[in-house]
Amino acid sequence: MKTENQRTALITGANKGIGKEVARQLAQRGFAVFIGARDLAKGRETSEELCRAGYEATFIQLDVTDPVSIRNACGTFSQKADHLDVLVNNAGILEDHGETIVKLNPELLDRTFKSNVSGPIMVIQDFLSYLEKSPTGGRIINVSSGAGALTDMDTYAPAYSISKTALNAVTKQFAGALRNQKIAVNCVDPGWVRTDMGGTSASRPVEKGAETIVWLATDAPQHETGKFWHDKREIDW
């Protein structure tokens, strides 16, 4: 059965944290939300929770590090919708353990890049044909981090930080490549948010962390593309 909502959004890593909150806020705004998650049980639980609240939510099993999983997710999506208005690349990992780049484990770096950089590229590539069919112009939001900003980068979490710098570059590349298709591509620093990744000492609730992502998905001018945002303001790379 196809979705009854005119606007659709796919959020990766949407079973918890910022991704789950973005899904909730977009559902509140009338989107049919697709909960992309690797964890089958948690993904279904999130989808069912939103459905019980009266929203339209569909779970799609999606491991951004697995090309076959992404292609299968596209197939599942195609059974429910014929276009995609918003893609939020939220899934990502932070596995650094306090070491500096001097002792960075190359296998850790490879895992981080596979999830935080290659994953979003593959998801965009595979879902691009649906974004091109958005009647209002597709929007892609990559969830980055202030840790990836070169302007004040130091030694924090080298694998994670470098991967987010690379994700920013991915954003610029896609923004340029898709400008003529009227698809906006932006990245967001949500700030230090209280999630499993950010920890309980973080200064921001998930609602604040999701705010600019949701704004870019809905109210930001469509012509804003290829930029790095924090609290609805463009920031330095």
* Cβ neighbours of residue 75 closer than 8 Å, sequence gap 6 or more: none
Q: How far apart are the first and last CA of the chain?
A: 43
Alpha helices in 57-157 (DSSP H): 67-78, 106-113, 119-131
* Residue 148 C-beta-side C-alpha neighbours within 13 Å: 30
Q: Does residue 130 carry a catalytic annotation?
A: no
Catalytic choice (55, 130, 156, 160): 160
What is d(CA 147, CA 33) in angstroms, rounded to the nearest whole number? 29
**Is there a contact between 234 and 220 (Cβ–Cβ < 8 Å)?**
no
Smallest Cα–Cα separation from 13: which of 86, 104, 120, 106? 120
Half-sphere exposure (Cβ direction) of 126: Cα atoms closer than 13 Å: 23
Q: Which residues are catalytic?
A: 160
